[in-house]
Amino acid sequence: MTLLHLAILSPLLMALIVPLFYKVAKNVHTGWFVLILPVLLFSYFIQFLSRTSKGETITATAEWMPSFGINFTAYVDGLSLLFALLITGIGSLVVLYSIYYLDKHKESLHNFYVYLLLFMGAMLGVVLSDNLLVMYTFWELTSISSFLLIAYWYHRERSRYGAQKSMLITVFGGLSMLGGIVLLGIMGDTFSIRELLAQQDILVSHALFIPALLLILLGAFTKSAQFPFHIWLPDAMEAPTPVSAYLHSATMVKAGIYLVARMTPIFSESSLWIWLVGGIGLLTLMWGSFNAVKQTDLKGILAFSTISQLGLIMSLLGVGAAARFYDYNQYYVAATVAAIFHLVNHATFKGTLFMVVGIVDHETGTRDIRKLGGLMSMMPITATIALIGSFSMAGLPPFNGFLSKEMFFTGMIRVIEMDIFNLSTWGILFPIIAWVASIFTFIYSMILFFKTFTGKYQPEKLDKEAHEAPFGMLLSPIILASLVVIFGFFPNLLSQSIIKPAVEAIVPAIKESSTLKVNIYFWHGFTPELFMTFGVILLGTLLYVYSSKWTPIYSKIPEKLSFNTVYDHGLISMERGAFSLTRRYMTGFIRTYLVYIFTFFIGILSFTMISQGAFTIDTSELAPISVYEVVLAVILVLGTVTILFAKSRLTAIIALGSVGYSVALFFVLFKAPDLALTQLVIETVSVALFLLCFYHLPRLSRHEERTSFKFGNLLISAAVGVLVTLISIASHSQKMFPSISEYYVENSYKLAGGKNMVNVILVDFRGFDTMFEICVLAIAALGIFAMIRLRLTRRSEG
């Protein structure tokens, strides 16, 4: 347990004592206490920067389950440090924002901050764990805490729906990821990411490589809201806005990105990886930006924009993975650089925008863009921040979004030149889709800003009089927006310290092969990317200005074709299907269940016997048959057949008694006097009990008729009889060992002092069985007594 471990686990420990603060210091907003921790953690993590930028990595191990090879190894390299800084940095700002956003008296703050701290700790654990199983543990903790945060206002039906949906989808992905992790563990015999990396060439040729790849990608895609698993993210917008800003834009949805980036060195050998990550990423980018335009809720726009931006980062990671096939050429690694740079940029501007939307909601009482407008003069600071955020998101200079958009285009254009995995034919689609999606990105960014802050002010539609937010609430978005501008003007602040080590973690081979240059400039000259950006701005502006002309196409697309419909109907029909299946086979009739049991019994036994070739008949050791046995057997069979065809219950009982007495006679014939004695007494008693039951049957339903004949029952009972007969013949024919009864014959007098061998076995050699059978009888007697007594008392009370 080192300081690093303590740092990772400190939010979880802090979560334990937060309710105490809430109870004791009622007059102080609980958030102020919480705020200390992420700030401390941020300053703690920032001191690692100097070491990781030199290419160093830091590891620390704490034993957890060493016998299973599962230890909590914390591992800090460029990539995990980048994420840790995002988590703690934006975490501090979000906590600060939430102090002003959530009311001290109306909200249950202790719940909120406990969940938030749980989430923060879990997220730190995910990005800083080297052991995959430990990472999975934290991964599920992020799912659970996200579930709790989405349903923070649990009295609202939509919140509960959103929480359930996100839980189902992310846990589905998490479990698939666990499957992938276990497969990786089987292949490499370790769960450590670094050790798996070292044996990457063994893993690639392994048969389980592709299944592991698919399962892990499934986990990453569900968490990062990639197509078609993006549907949970828009519904998660029911959470409080600080939560949306933190979880659903900056951190949790990037866990999938982190996983893909982390696994890239292992899996990028496969064409499937590059096609899936790149292709699904582009599809998500397109689908998200296309759907964002039609949203009328500000958070809805931001949710779909998050989906599309995550797709963008994902597609860049996919394209960047292809660099391996070009000797890690600087030229192709640029896509990975762009991915990391955009990851940082997205966290800054999307956090800003969510906070702005939260302010607008807080100050006007609505988030519907049809009701909003003309807020610029009333909320000038908010409007400025929103302008910075949305123009950065649209990819306009001089903000950081412009830079990463340019790099994105560069990465996509280079796909055309690749000649691997059919990319030479289909690769041309990459830049085209990217360009079209960017136009839509531009449009929704403009909608977000201009529909909210310009136009006509409509006070009659708003719940409150609009006015500027308090300074404390504005503080966090101001910090984030100034980061947007700073990264925009001085991108190289990041490049050496953060981006370079992170890229080296994703593409480890680059450390040796070449010197990575990650300098980012505004001006590259008149490149195709620049003209693509001009095109985006031109077409985007035109489409935005004339949006009323073409947006009706959205209403043409039927609502039924969405993935939400698929999800909802899938859930309902699954429930219905399970219900009707259960109702069909759980009939409530014992006879049906007996049919299942016997059919299963027949099936499994005959399959085993036939597949093992175990049916044999050997007559060499059989004893001769005497005439008494034949006569007695005939009587027995006659009695049995009488039971089956008896027309009244009385006949059946008498016939059953005759069977029992014949068995007693068989015991006599086979020289078992003790058995014969017991059998006679027991048979008499049980026939008497049967008669008792028969006598007490209710009069009304006492219709004496033949057992109704059913062909299926006949078949099953005949099959059971034949099978058991065959098995007993076969087992008699194959005696492998002599019996141990010789020992009892010799020793029952010598050792136990008894001449009756049966009784000596019962009470001496194997007395334990007898003891417990006495117990059985005692339980039966007590049970009968209890049943009769309890029923009698109830009747007397009633």
Partner 1 sequence: MINSIVIVALGIISISMLLLIYRVVKGPSVPDRVVALDALGINLVGVVALISIVFNSFAFLEVILLIGILAFIGTIAFAKFLEKGVIIERDRDA
Q: Which residues bind partner 1 (CB under 8 A)?
A: 628, 631, 654, 661, 665, 668-669, 671, 673, 676-677, 680-681, 684, 688
- What does the DSSP 8-state code read for residue 454? S
Q: How far is the CB of 658 from partner 1 (least distance, A)?
A: 9
What's the gap between Cα 715 and its chain centre? 46
At 556, list the tokens: 């043409």
Instruction: Please report which residue ranges of 734-766 form alpha helices under DSSP H.
Output: 741-750, 757-760
8 A C-beta contact, residue 133 and residue 70: yes
β-strand 58-65 against 70-76: which pairing, if any?
antiparallel
Under a CB-based contact definition with an 8 Å cutoff, are residues 160 and 136 in contact? no
Give the residue carrying structure tokens 């759980």: 586
d(CA 621, CA 616): 14
Q: Which amino acid is at 220?
A: A
Is residue 103 left, alpha or beta, with left meaning phi > 0 and alpha meaning psi from -120 to 50? Answer: beta
Closer of 581 and 669 to partner 1 (Cβ): 669
Distance CA 544, CA 717 (A): 77
C-alpha count within 13 angstroms, C-beta hemisphere, residue 304? 23
Structural Rg of the chain based on CA atoms: 38
Crossing angle for the helix pair 429-453 and 271-292, nearest 10 degrees?
30
561-567-570 Cα angle (round to 5): 105
- Phi/psi at 55 (5° precision): 90, 5
129: helix, strand or coil: strand
The two most distant CA atoms of the chain are separated, in Å, by 116
Cis peptide before 228 (omega within 30 of 0): yes
Give the C-alpha separation, 344 to 337, whole Å: 11
Q: Kindly tell me which of 688 and 774 has the beta carbon lying closer to partner 1.
A: 688
What does the H/E/C string look like for 220-271?
HHHHCCCCCHHHHHHHHHHCCHHHHHHHHHHCHHHHHHHHHHHHHHHHCCCH
Shortest separation between residue 688's beta carbon and partner 1, angstroms: 8
Secondary structure string (H, E, C) spanning 68-89: HCEEEEEEECHHHHHHHHHHHH
